[in-house]
Every structure is written in C-alpha cells, then in structure tokens.
Chains A and B, each alone.
Chain A
Amino acid sequence: MLKVLCFKSGDNLYGIETRYVKEINRHPEITVIPLAPPMMAGIMNLRGQIVNLLDFEALIGVPTRAEKKHCIILKKEAGEIDVMAFLVEQAADVIDVDEAICEPPTPSLENEYGQTIKFIAKLEQQLLIIIDKEKLF
C-alpha cells in the first residue's frame, strides 16, 4: 500500500507519497521574488523557516490557468539544504493506493512529463498520477 496525498491541477489528479510530505498549508503568504526562475512561485515563512515555493505545474511543464491555493511542504531529505514546497491548485485527501492498481506511465505520458511520473493508479473514478519526487528537481 502506498499512502498518497492527492491534489488537483486542471482536470488532472496528482498524488505524492506522504512519506515525502511534511505538511500542507492552506493559506500560504507568498512573497514573490523578482527575477527568480519562472518555476519559482515565491518564498514563504513557515514558523521562521524559509520555504521555497515551486509552481507545481510549471515544474512538470503542464501549466493551467487555474488559481493555485494550497501549498504542499516537502520534508527536507538528508543532503538537501533548502526546504521545498509545491504550490498546487487544491490539495485533497490522503488515500491508500494498492500497488496492484498502479502501472508505469505509458510512453505518451512520458513524452509529456518526462520521467517525473512514478505510477498511474487506476482509481475507480479517476486516474491518479503519482509523481516521482526524486526525479522532480
């Protein structure tokens, strides 16, 4: 079983395994930094810690025009210096995903997303794109 935090972007449902996630922030106060790389949505202060906010859609290269409200803060892994977070349209539930319903991405999806997809999970209502955090940055 994978524990996956789901979030929406456009019409797609994405997921990231909860073991990478520190917390979700639903009211991020974002400071936009001029001249920052385009995928950088800004910076926020999380209880005294600087968090780098990346625009999730820009990061995976599938932009939508939807407003992005929520912020998924990732755990800092050994060797990482900065705390990273995704700015996403809307964070949803944490669900258990059975590996049995997961498949590797099809070539057509790989073309679009590169290697950032880990699995496609065939949920009953919708396909869930589980991203590969290790390949993102």
Chain B
Amino acid sequence: MLKNEDFIQEFVEEARDHLENFERVVLTNLAEISAEQINDAFRAVHSIKGTAGFFGLTKIVTIAHSMETILDFVNRKQIPLTDAEIDLLLEAKDRLKVLVNDVKQSETYPIDDILVKLQVAEAGFAKQDANAADPIAKPEPPDTSQLFAHFDFNPQTQEKITAFRKFGHHIYGIEMALTAQYLASCDGLDAIIDNFTSVANVILMISPAGDPLSWDDLKAEQFNNPVVLILASSILEESLLRQVLGLPASSVRVLAENKENTVAEPVLLLSNEPEANEDKLLELPLVEFNEGSESLRVNIRLLDDLMNLASELVLGRNRLLTLLEPEKKRIAELPQVLQNVDRLTSSIQEKIMLTRMQPIGTLFNRYPRLIRDLSKKLNKKLTLQIEGGEVELDKSILEGLSDPLVHLLRNAADHGIESAAIRKQNGKNEIATISLKASYQGSVVNIEVSDDGNGIDFTKIQEIARKKKLYRQNELNLMSEKELLNLLFDPGFSTADSLSEVSGRGVGMDVVRTNLEKMGGSIEITTQSGRGTSVKLMMPLTVSIIQSLVVASSAIKMVIPQADVQETIKINKESFNEKIEAINEKYFYRLRNELLAVVYLSDLWQPQQAGRAPRDHKLVVLKLGQQRFGLLVETLLGIEETLIKPLPAILKECGIYSGLTIMGDGKVAPILDIAGIARTTALVSDTNTKPQTLIDDLGRTALAGDDREDFVLFKGTGNEILALNIALIKRIDKIKKTEIQRIGDRTYISRGNMPLRVIRAEDYLALNSGLDDGEDYYVITPKLVPQPIGILATEIIENVNFEPVIEAQQFNMTGIFGAALFREKMILIINLYALLERAEPEAFTFVPSPQASGRKILLVEDSPFFQKVEQNYLESGGYQVVLAANGLEALAILDREAIDVVLTDIQMPQLDGYALLKKIRQKPAYDSIPIVALSALTGALNREKGLTSGFDRYEYKLDRESLLRALDEVIAASQRGE
C-alpha cells in the first residue's frame, strides 16, 4: 500500500540519515552521553516511525516503536544502557536498515525474532522502572523552547503582531546573549543594533527576569545580564535571519500563526506517553531544527549532470581562448571580456565541484561500529580514534574509499594488534588503539590508518613469499624492507596464519591498491617493530578535471596528471648519449646523484626501433609513491586543464592508460597511468609490477620476447589442465548437463534453435577421462574454424598470459602441441585443428591444395612453440617445411635451397622480420619469392603496417585456414608472374 513513489524515495533517504545518526549516538562513549544525545537518537527513530506510519509500513513502525520505548526509558528514567542493550539496539537498527533499503518489500520480511528480543528488554526496563521507588524528576526542557513564555502578549502586542503579519512578516522570539565573543564576532554592540534594526522590527525587548529593555538600556547597562529576549518581526525567513544576526539555531524561534495565545508549548520536549502525543508532535509547525535546515536535498544525478556541463564549459572556454588569441590585438575590449569569462567559468566549475564535496566524517562514522564488532569477535580490547572528520572529499572518492578502509581497519585489528595478554606482557596498554586520521596536504588528502600493535614481521613475509613460491629465499634475502612490504600487495598474499572470519576473505591488499589507484590515489605502508603499523592513503580531492602535462612522442599526444610530475629536464640531442646511459637497453639518468630509471614513451607501443635517430628529448621525472622514474618524451606541449573521462573497457587491457581526456582543441588524448607504465616496464621494484616471467622447475627463465600469448585454462572430465589460445575462442557459455543431448555417438546442444555439436577433448586425444558427475558444463566455441562446434569443459580455470615454452621432444601426441609449465603446473596446449579433425574428419580435415605438394616453405620463427604450431599447420596443408630460428639463419638457407615461399615471424632476435624482408628484397635472385609475415597480433592496424612495409601477406599465426588459403593464393600469384 505504497502511496507515492517520489515521497517514499525521500523517506528512504531520510531514514538512512536518521539511522546513521542513531548509530553514531548509540556508539558514543556511555560515560559522556548526554540527555540531548539520547534525545537525538530518540528523535531519529521517532521520525522514521512517523513517516513510515504515513506510508503504512507496519513492520518498520513496529520495530521503531519498540526501539523508541526502550530509549524513552533510558531518557526519562535515566536508566543506563548496558552493553547488551546497546548490541540489541544496534541489531534492531540493522534490521530497520534492511527494511528501509528494500522498502517496497519491507512488509514481507519476518521480524518476530527481533521484536521478541526488544520486548524482553522493554519488560526489563519496565521492571526497573517500577522498582525505582522514587522516580527521578524528568529533566528540565531546554530553556529556549519556552522562549515565548516570557513575553507578555497583551492586546497591544497582539495588535502589533497582527499588523506585521499583514505585511507578510514572520514573528520571532530571539534570545540574544551579548557575550564578549558574540560582540567581538559582530564588531561591537552598535553594529549589532544597526544590523538588527535593518532586518527586523523590535516589538518587545525584555530581560530574562521580564523587565522591559530598550537599545539605549543595553548601551548603558554594560551587560550585567548579557541575555536579552526580543520579540521581533522580520520579512526574512528564519534561517536567513539567523545568518544575518549570527545567532545559533536554538536562539531564534518562529512564532506560529494563530498560536499567539497558546504558545509556550515546548516543542522538543518528549512527552511521557510518546504514543499518545505523537500526532500532536507531527502537527506542530516546527518539528525539527538542526544544522541541516540550511541545506537542500538534491538528486546526485543532477549534480553529476551539472558537473559534466561545467566541465564542458571549461573546455569550451579553453577553446574560445585559443581561438580568439590572435584577435586580442584587433579588438580593444576583447582581452578584458575574455578574462572575465575565463574567471567566471573557473569559479562556476569550482563551486559545482564543491557541491559534491562531503566531509570524510560521514564515512569515518561508520567505523566505530566495525571496531566494536571486531573487538568482540577477536576478543581484543580496541578503541578507535578518529581525527579530521571535517576534511572534505569528492563524493565518488568517498564512496570508493569505503571498502579499502574497512579492509585496512580489519587488517589492523586482526593482524596488527596483539592479544591483550601479549600486550600486557610487553608492558603495553591492554586497550589497543587504532586511529583513523584525515588531513589535507596541498591538493591531496592523506588518510592514515594506524595501530599501536606489534608491527609487521618481515621474517614472516619472507616465509610466506617462499611458501607461496613467489620468490626464492636467496632473492628474498636481497630485498630491502621496503621491497618486502611491497610483497604485501602481491595478489593473494595474506600474513594471517589461518584464514579467519575477520580478514583473509580472499580480497587482498592488491585489490585495495588497485581500487585506490583507479581513483588516482596511492598507498604506502610504514611499520616499526613492536610499535605499530601505519598505512597512508593519498587521495586526490576531486575527480574530473585535473591539471595535466600534455606530451607527445611520434606525433601522438598523451597526457600526464600534473600531480604525478616532479620536474622536467631538457635533454639536447648533442649531449643525449652522455646524459642517458644504457645498460642492456635499459636507460638511466643521473638525477643529482640518484640513478633514475628511464623509459622512452614511444617504446611503450613501438618497442626499440633499431637505430633511434638522435633528437632533442624532454625527460619527465615522475613520482610513484616514494619511488621515481623518468619518461623520455619528444615534446612538451604545455599544461592544460583537462577533463577526465573514464577509460572504455576495451582499452583497459592496454595497461598504460588510466583514462581519457578531451583537450582544449576538442581532441581526445589518453591519460597515462604512471603506475601502469611502471608495471609494464618493470621500472620500479614491486612484485606486482613484474611481468609474469615463466620460471620452470629448473629455474630457467623463459626467453623474453613478444611471443606471450593469452590462454584459457580449462579441464575436461580428467585431471589434466588444458589450454586453448584465447584468440581461437569465440565464446564460452555455461550450460546445464541436461542440455546436452545424445544422437547416435555424438552429443549436441541447441544454440539459436540449431543443433551445435559438442565434443569432449578427452574422447579424441590421449587424455584421462574421469567421472562425468558435474551439473554444469562450459561450452567453448572456437573461431577461425570452418564449421561451428563446441568443446565441453567441466571447469574454466582462468585466463593466463605466458610465453609457451614447450618440451617439444617429449610430447608427440596428436592434438597436443606440447606441455608447458605455468606456476609449477603442467599445462597441455591443445592443437585445435588436430582435435577437430579427429572429432569430425569430414568437416575439419583440410584438403591440401593440389599446387601445395612439393612446395617448400621456409618457416622463420624463434619461438619453439610457434615453430611447432606452424610446422603442423603447413604440413597439414601438404607443404614441405624448412625451419629457421631467425633472419640470419633464414638468409643462409635461402642461399643453398630453393624455396617457394618465406613465412616469417616479425619479432625475432638477430635480424627481425622487417630486416629480413629488406635483405631478401635487395637480392634480385629472390625477387619472385613471396614473403608472408606472421604475427601473434591480428587485425587491421598491424596488418596495415605489415602490408605497407612490403610483405605479400600478413597472417595471424594461429589461424590455420586463413594462413593456408593465403599461401595458396600467393603461390598462384607468383606462378602467374605477378
């Protein structure tokens, strides 16, 4: 029976706020809790009850009513709350929150359990109440609420009031305390009087004792009694009047119309029988006064829109300024106008940004509860100290901080703090302190989570890193403490001995860091043995518009957040080689005696063109946490305010961008992700940032090259881990076992009303088959095959990226290219085409072209895995294959053997594909030999580059059909003499 959708949404939002306030109050230290605060809690619950009643939400009303009753006992009879009762109230609050969050279904939730508990508590209070022989008098209502009681509303006054009301004035009761502080803040009494008379008309002015006063009396009296009560009229709204007079909320009251004769009803006073008085409470004109009355609820979507528009406006201005720059001299008034527009735009944008700022206290206030719960669960005595709750951050950043902070607090409580017994032994306070501090530092907000626990145990980190085979002991021995701390960010790293309920939920520090970096923040850990650990988060104040440095290399513009830039250094081409020193193609710069690792920006996408032409560069020194590195760019285009747009999903895998930006000229440029660059180039020490180099069981490291491929690891019914190249997979779907139908000796599923044949790899290859007892299956649909078919898997393990190093000699199984080791597990890489051929020879066997037989193909390929793959493909196409491991070998072979087609990889050591192409084309004798490039990357961009450099064709390594077709075509073409 919901009455109005819009209102109910408002109710939900309000109720959430009320519940938050409620929790804050209940968690206040009991010794310090004041009657006013209990009142706050009561009011919070009461408001929820009132509005919920209006909407007919009976379950919410019932719980709220019970909570209210308990609070009323506490408030009225001064019966203190016990710990258990606080727990109960919190539990009830949680329950209310659940109902409020799902308000439309709230009537369907069972609530009897919590009601019973609340009623038991109520009964307990009632008993205590009855036992108390001499009930304590109820506390005096706050003086201000009876403000009007002091005034004498005689007919004369009444007349004045009516007259003012006719002109639309409000009538106010004002309590003005002329304290030294108030006087000072308003520049003295004269100023106060001027101010007052300019906005309000005094009807009556009295002292608290009831003696009439005038302004002159005030001047003469020199404030023996600083409090003055004034009945005044003003056209201003209550909040405005208060602002003008600089008075607190409690000292200005609106006199409601028609109530002149019956005032003196204390509005904030809680009645003895809340139930009976409830309606009256709701009817009263001033239900609530709080600091919130000066603010306005605005839909966050509207703010987001405003912010986007403001950002656009900034860009529009930038464009305008650039465009009109040349006109400035011609039109005399233009500079002034532009300057004005410039300034106004900046302030609009700034103000709109401010609307999204929220004090971090709203977030921090959630955590006392967490610490309280943790303290019980872990059986440790914990207190939480909060500082800097007033620090403001953009709303979206605040939201993003919520989970990381929970994680860090849990870590601190679980891993950081010792048990009470040990603390005592070590002479520490049994009650451990966890502190949460926020502070500004320039345009960055620092948030620090620290504990006074035992500090991080480095030997333990080493032990775990060794156990988890992340590193070998000798490597670990060489690591500095900082590097060891960095290990904590390794995915899945957890120092707890066992997974406890509290931490170790599978979300590690790596996730925390990733989330922070996404918002432009960073994280640092410091620890002192026996003294504690501190985790510092450095977050930007706002999002969306950042100061950034626009750079370019190879004519491609990119943007670096100014906050990441430490300095820029010009490096002339004359002195380039002295200044940028190289060790094994790693570059370094001596920055004031510090060795700075340096990387070419263009190397990120065009690695190491042979023979770099000398030219001027700029070195941008970047800081990443406490580390630094340099980025060599060709040009600096200046600093711009740029608007950040989120990175499309499709660009995330590039790994070096954090977002996109629209620049002043309207063009889009990517924003460089400094942490990502450091990771992909392994510039800074950090286990996470190292590429997953393959280390096999003999400790050999796989050859670094571009031959890394993405594989999907999966399992059939047997226990082998199978791998299929991602590039060969079109899609993977989850199906139920019951969807598989058997027709004859083949199995099918239905896809888009068509039967799709599905096969098990283990039925056709020499693999183990196991029990077929699962419920779910995955169907892997390959692409680049002549006919749709599916491969059944019982489990999709993960996607991995590695360079397949193949024990080719040992593995000569049909349908398997070979075995590779990945993270110490044996993985079988499937030869898709061979598997399909075995499963359905009539559809998948490639019929060799008649002109293939006897043709010799020179296959130039450095990776043993791809050598094997290509050789297999070529032989299945009927060709003879001659192998070469690099360009030099290939040239030697061309010298002594007649070759029909050269098929070459691009990236190879010792003469790569492009260089080989050049060499072959230089010899007229080889003129008629077609040269086909093979690449691990497919697609238009690379294809274009390959073709423009003179290859006859450009083919994707794994696509057998396309490769063989291409060979057939180039052979035919060369025969025709084209």
Contact = CB atoms under 8 A, between A and B. Distances in A.
Contacts of B752: 115
A136 interface: no
Interface string B763-793: 0000000000000000000010011100000
Contact of B605 (A31, A34, A48, A110): A34
What is the size category of the interface that chain A forms with chain B? 20 to 34
B645 interface: yes
A111 interface: yes
A107 B787 CA distance: 8
B256 interface: no
Contacts of B947: 65
Contacts of A110: 788
A65 B944 CA distance: 8
Interface stretch (A39-47, A89-97, A120-128): A39-47
B942 interface: yes
Interface string A34-61: 1111111101110010101001011000
B648 A48 contact: no
Contact of A37 (B646, B650, B657): B650
B670 A48 contact: no
Contacts of B939: 37-39, 55, 58
B651 interface: yes
Contact of B660 (A34, A50, A57): A50
Interface in B941-967: 941-943, 947
B439 interface: no
A58 B668 contact: no
Contact of A29 (B666, B787, B938): B666
B605 A35 contact: yes
B312 interface: yes
A10 interface: no
B556 interface: yes
Contacts of A33: 651, 654, 657, 670
A89 to B, nearest CB: 12
Contacts of A32: 556
Contact of A35 (B656, B666, B787, B943): B656
B506 to A, nearest CB: 26
Interface residues of B, number: 41
Nearest to A48: B312
A111 B786 contact: yes
A31 B668 contact: yes
Interface in B641-670: 645-646, 648-651, 653-657, 660, 662, 666-670
Given A34-B604, A35-B656, A55-B940, A111 B650 contact: no
Interface in A64-115: 65, 81-82, 107, 110-111, 114-115
Contacts of A31: 557, 667-670
A55 B666 CA distance: 22
Contact of A48 (B315, B655, B788, B938): B315
B937 interface: yes
A51 to B, nearest CB: 9
Contact of B666 (A34, A41, A45, A52): A45
Nearest to A81: B649
A126 B307 CA distance: 49
Contacts of B670: 31, 33, 43
Contacts of B657: 33
Contacts of B845: none
Nearest to A35: B654
Contacts of B660: 43, 50
A111 B787 contact: yes
A81 B651 CA distance: 13
A39 B940 contact: yes
Nearest to A44: B668
Nearest to A137: B650
B383 interface: no
Q: By CB atoms of chain A within 10 A, which of B650, B655, B670, B940 has the most? A: B940
A36 B651 CA distance: 6
A114 B961 CA distance: 14
A55 to B, nearest CB: 5
Contacts of A41: 940
Contact of A38 (B645, B648, B669, B938): B938
B730 interface: yes
Interface in B322-340: none
B730 A43 contact: no
A2 to B, nearest CB: 19
B254 to A, nearest CB: 46
Contacts of A82: 648-650
Contacts of B943: 38, 63
A48 B557 CA distance: 18
A107 B646 CA distance: 41
B308 interface: yes
Residue picked from A29, A34, A43, A115, most chain B C-beta under 10 Å:
A34
Contacts of B650: 36-37, 40, 52, 82
A41 to B, nearest CB: 7
B666 A50 contact: no
Nearest to B311: A48
A115 B756 CA distance: 13
Contacts of B654: 33-36
Q: Which of B315, B651, B786 has the most CB of A within 10 A?
A: B651
A81 B557 CA distance: 25
Interface string B596-607: 000000001110
B959 to A, nearest CB: 9
A35 B662 contact: no
A83 to B, nearest CB: 9
Nearest to A49: B645
B750 to A, nearest CB: 14
A50 B604 contact: no
B760 to A, nearest CB: 23
Nearest to A58: B940
B499 to A, nearest CB: 34
B386 to A, nearest CB: 36
A67 to B, nearest CB: 11
Contacts of A48: 308, 311-312, 315, 662
A82 B940 CA distance: 22
B942 A38 contact: yes
A49 to B, nearest CB: 8
B667 A45 contact: yes
B730 A114 contact: yes
Most chain B Cβ neighbours within 10 Å, of A44, A48, A65, A115: A48
A48 B651 CA distance: 18
Contacts of B656: 35
A136 B654 CA distance: 21
A33 B670 CA distance: 7
Interface in B304-321: 308, 311-312, 315
A68 to B, nearest CB: 9
Interface string B566-609: 00000000000000000000000000000000000000111000
A50 B645 contact: yes
Contacts of B666: 29, 45
Nearest to B939: A38
A57 B940 CA distance: 8
B575 to A, nearest CB: 28
A17 B783 CA distance: 25
- Which among B315, B787, B938 has the greatest number of chain A C-beta atoms within 10 A? B938
Interface of B: 308, 311-312, 315, 556-557, 604-606, 645-646, 648-651, 653-657, 660, 662, 666-670, 730, 752, 783, 786-788, 937-943, 947
Given A34-B654, A37-B653, A82-B650, 14 more contacts: A31-B668, A31-B670, A34-B604, A35-B655, A38-B939, A38-B941, A43-B670, A48-B312, A52-B648, A52-B650, A57-B940, A58-B940, A81-B646, A81-B648
16 contacts: A29-B666, A31-B557, A33-B654, A33-B657, A33-B670, A34-B556, A35-B656, A36-B650, A37-B939, A38-B938, A38-B942, A57-B940, A63-B943, A81-B649, A110-B788, A111-B786
A-B pairs with the 4 shortest C-beta distances?
A38-B939, A34-B605, A58-B940, A35-B654
